[in-house]
Amino acid sequence: MNRISVVICTRDRPDLIGNAVESVLNNDHDAFELVVIDQSRDDASARAVARFSDDSRFRFLHIDRVGLSHAYNFGISQTSAAIVAFTDDDCTAPAGWLSAIERSFAVHSDVAMLYGQTLAAPELKDAPGVLPALPIHEEEKLGRGYGFRVYGMGANFALRRSLVDLIGGFDEALGGGGPLRSSQDFDFQFRAYRADAICLLAPDIWVHHYGIRDEQAWPATLVAYGVGDGAFYFKHVRCGDLLALRLLLARLGRLTLAQLLGPIRKRPSQWPYLRSCVKGAIAGMHYRIDRKKRIYLPAESTRG
């Protein structure tokens, strides 16, 4: 019986998905399954992982509907273990990744979800462009009694299936490929906090990230981040959540200050993110909200 299910969602990255799958299948854990949810526009990704088809631990499922949150939710529905781990199609995991995840949940019985580190791939250290990463310097719990902040990266996280049963799945309006473009993991983390679930930041759980963006592509990535963050935070503000308002204002304040000091410190402009954050909050206003679950309702539910 599988003790951990792994979900990797992919779309049009045939040059990277094979390495991601291979790294997970090379893990030393003795009871896991790996499901790849493919939303690609052609069969290149399927061909890239065809060499793993004889591995009984591996399944490749193609779906037509695009959207990272939908892919997450579908992946969860297609798996069975009590722990579900996620990494991205542009990451590789070390051999002990799954064992470290299982060990953390065993040691911390109060923890419902965790984030590990996402580290820049060493061979891309000096490559031109921007390679997003998430360092975690020490173990930390986020939740009631510990303090809370929004912190994590969807390239390396895991959760207990019971948490999904408690708060529902990912908000399908949020996330890459969805109308509100990103921040599905932050939204899930915040909803988990509001349900009194504990999140662990675990530095001993890490993956390497290969998803480098060139200088021309990075502003578009910031725009997507901004739209998603604005829509995520303001959804909870609309539910009367003052913490979400404080977190949003604090983030905007920090980035505005960084923008003002940017020319002095020679830092990149924050304006694409800041403008898009406002646009995301406005875009989210076009959706009604299931206030009990704190999930955007499908766009058609706004009619009438």
Are 115 and 191 members of one domain?
yes
Are 35 and 167 members of one domain?
yes
Are 158 and 228 members of one domain?
no
Backbone angles phi, psi at 201, to 5 degrees: -100, 120
Q: What 3-state DSSP class applies to 285?
A: coil
Instruction: Kindly write down the DSSP assignment for every residue of 35-102, as one continuous string.
Output: EEEE--SSSHHHHHTGGGTT-TTEEEEE-SS--HHHHHHHHHHT---SEEEEEETTEE--TTHHHHHH
Place of tokens 């631990």: 57
pLDDT of res. 52: 98
Are 268 and 123 members of one domain?
no
If you average pLDDT over every residue of the chain, what do you get? Answer: 95
Rounded to whole angstroms, the Cα distance separating 175 from 9 reads: 12
Low-confidence winner among 161-175, 183-197, 207-221 (lowest mean pLDDT): 207-221
* Residue range 274-288, pLDDT digits in tens: 999 999 999 999 999
- Residue that finishes a domain, picked among 186, 209, 232: 209
Give pTM, 2 decimals: 0.95
Are 21 and 89 members of one domain?
yes
pLDDT of res. 304: 29
pLDDT band (50, 70, 90) for residue 194: very high
pLDDT of res. 109: 98
Are 13 and 90 members of one domain?
yes
Rounded to whole angstroms, the Cα distance separating 86 from 81 reads: 13
Q: Which two tokens stand for residue 59?
A: 């399944």
Are 202 and 67 members of one domain?
yes
Q: 63: domain range? A: 4-209
pLDDT of res. 1: 87
Backbone angles phi, psi at 126, to 5 degrees: -105, 10
* Residue range 100-129, pLDDT digits in tens: 999 999 999 999 999 999 999 999 989 999
Are 80 and 201 members of one domain?
yes
Helices (H), the chain: 14-25, 44-48, 68-77, 97-107, 161-167, 184-194, 218-238, 242-265, 271-284
pLDDT of res. 21: 99
pLDDT of res. 300: 57
Q: 80: domain CATH number?
A: 3.90.550.10
Q: Is the pLDDT of residue 263 over 80?
A: no
Are 225 and 180 members of one domain?
no
- Residue that finishes a domain, picked among 146, 176, 209: 209
Place of tokens 């899930």: 188
Q: How many distinct structural domains can be found in the chain?
A: 2
Q: Is the pLDDT of residue 303 over 80?
A: no
- Residue that finishes a domain, picked among 168, 185, 209: 209
Are 201 and 238 members of one domain?
no
pLDDT of res. 270: 82
Are 177 and 275 members of one domain?
no
Q: Is the pLDDT of residue 269 over 90?
A: no
Q: What is the mean pLDDT of residues 54-82?
A: 98
Are 146 and 239 members of one domain?
no
